[in-house]
Structure formats: C-alpha cells, structure tokens
Amino acid sequence: MISKYSKGAIALHWLIAILVIANFVLASMAEDLPREAQGALMSPHKAIGISILFFSVLRLVWRLTNKPPMLPEAIPAWQSTLGRIVHLLFYFLIIAVPFSGWLMASAHPQAPPVDFFGLFDATLPVDKSKALADVGHEAHEILTKPLFILILLHIIAALKHQFADKLPFVQRMWP
C-alpha cells in the first residue's frame, strides 16, 4: 500500500503548482511587451498571485493540522532532512513571493488598484510610496529565482526517487 498525502494536500499542491506556472508564463510574456500591453497580462498575474498567497497560507495551515505520510524507510536520513528544509523554504517562498508582489503593486504611487478578477479591489492598505514599492519589487525579483530553482530540484528529486530509486513518490502526491 502506498502512503499518500491527503486529498486536501494533493488538491492544494497541484492548484498552487498550476497557478505558479501560469503566473510565470504571464510575467514572461509581459516582460518584452510595450507598457500599455503589459497591463492586460499583469492584471491577471496580480490576481493569480493573490490566489497563490491565499492557497499557500491555506496549504500551510493544512500541513500544520494534517500529518504528512511517512517517507519510505529506504530514504536516507540526510535526504529526509534535506527534503524537510526544502519544504520549509517552499512554504516561505510561496508566501513571500506573492506577498512582495502584492506589496509592490499596492504601494506604487502610479499603479492602478489591484483588481481581483474584476470582483473587488484587493489593494493592500499601505501608503503609496515609491520606496516601499521598490522594496516589494526587489524582494519579488530576488525571491522568484530561488523559488524556481527549488521547483526544479523538487521535480528532479521526485523523479529520481520514482525512477532511479524505484519508490512510489509520484503516486504519493498524484490525485
């Protein structure tokens, strides 16, 4: 029998993964466009970012209240420890990256209100300040790179455990 994550953990894992990939694609597409055209992509990017933040906090609460499945005994202690560290970094980054972007968008003096998919204004209640927006921008830029490095390492490790070690790792988090 395979020791699987709970349905809630699996749903949140894949939902956040899909949203992170979508946001990376939107930001990459907007990067080289003229400023006017960027807005059409950055508005959903911001709303998706807020969604990532919400679901990531929910995922963290879920993780704190629902014990994950045990790792297979074949996993060496150092890999288990490294996996815990990587997961802690993931939680930090999937919360810090969208929050820093939200802060940047909310604080920028010339930025329009942060629109959440046309449903409501999701602007943070912060002072309009170029300095604060710059702090948010720098944090967003700096923290995005390690997030994607961790994503790649996470995928490589899961595939290594699945195919090289012949352990049912993918099935643990597969719906």
Tens-binned pLDDT, residue by residue, of the chain (175 aa): 568 999 999 999 999 999 999 999 999 999 989 988 998 999 999 999 999 999 999 999 999 999 999 998 899 999 999 999 999 999 999 999 999 999 999 999 999 999 999 999 999 999 999 999 999 999 999 999 999 999 999 999 999 999 999 998 899 999 9
Report d(CA 142, CA 127) in Å as an integer.
23
Amino acid at site 1: M
pTM over 0.85: yes
Report d(CA 7, CA 173) in Å as an integer.
9
Asked whether 46 and 101 are in contact (CB, 8 A), the reply is yes
Furthest CA-CA distance within the chain: 56
Half-sphere exposure of 167 (CA within 13 A, CB side): 18
Report d(CA 128, CA 152) in Å as an integer.
36
Report d(CA 106, CA 84) in Å as an integer.
33
Report d(CA 156, CA 150) in Å as an integer.
10
**86, exposed or middle or buried, with CB in 10 Å at 0-12, 13-18, 19+?**
middle
Cross-strand partners of 15: none
Helix (H) or strand (E) holding 13: helix 7-31
Q: How far, in whole angstroms, is CA 105 from its chain's centroid?
A: 17
Asked whether 151 and 20 are in contact (CB, 8 A), the reply is yes
Asked whether 100 and 140 are in contact (CB, 8 A), the reply is yes
